[in-house]
Amino acid sequence: MAGTDQPYGVQDPRVAYASEISDLVRLTEEALQDPGLADTPTTYVHLLAALLSFEGADVWGEWLDGLNDEEYEVSCPTCSTENFVAFGAHGFFSTTDSMYMKATTARKVPLQPQASSALAGLGRRLHNRALADDQSGVAHKLTYVFGNAQCAECDVVFSVAEAVVARRG
Ligand SMILES: [Zn+2]
């Protein structure tokens, strides 16, 4: 495998601080067991994001909090138009109007959530975990974040999660 060798003298911080990080993972896992989280899904998402960061899933560790904002701003992979992907109190759609929460004539294209049985990889893992942790609202949002959106400008259908990673990665 080319390109995977670390230069001499540069140590991966996850190796250098492995025991500290495993302590943080354990503490975060304990915090995630708190029954009080049932009433505070935003705190639950913060903790889940922290867990992903400690595990090295940098993009989602940083951006999972978008679940709490009920919105991701992403670029269409085909035409680069900014799309606001909303999944919450305002509905479940993509639009190019950043003020979609106000009265707007902007086009809103319904999102295409992923069936929970069809989720794969990180999406599947987070969804299963949220269900096991009694966070059905979080699990429901994950089917949109790991589902598809249609660009409100050019109509191409794209993966929301891949667009988030492309934007932030
Ligand atoms: Zn587009």
Q: What is the pLDDT of residues 72-106, one digit of tens each?
A: 999 999 999 999 999 999 999 999 999 998 877 88
CB-side exposure of 71: number of CA atoms within 13 Å?
A: 16
Predicted confidence band of residue 25 (pLDDT cuts 50, 70, 90): very high
Query: What is the C-alpha end-to-end distance of the chain, expressed in Å?
Result: 22
pLDDT at position 1? 46
AA identity, residue 42: T
Q: Which two tokens stand for residue 18?
A: 């492995």
The Cα–Cα gap between 72 and 93 comes to 11
Q: What is the pLDDT of residues 119-162, one digit of tens each?
A: 999 999 999 999 999 999 999 999 999 999 999 999 999 999 99
What distance in angstroms lies between residue 107's CA and the mean position of ligand 1's atoms?
Answer: 13
What distance in angstroms lies between residue 29's CA and the mean position of ligand 1's atoms?
Answer: 39
What distance in angstroms lies between residue 77's CA and the mean position of ligand 1's atoms?
Answer: 7
pTM of the model: 0.87
Q: Is 154 helix (H, G, I), strand (E, B) or coil?
A: coil
The Cα–Cα gap between 44 and 35 comes to 10
What distance in angstroms lies between residue 95's CA and the mean position of ligand 1's atoms?
Answer: 11
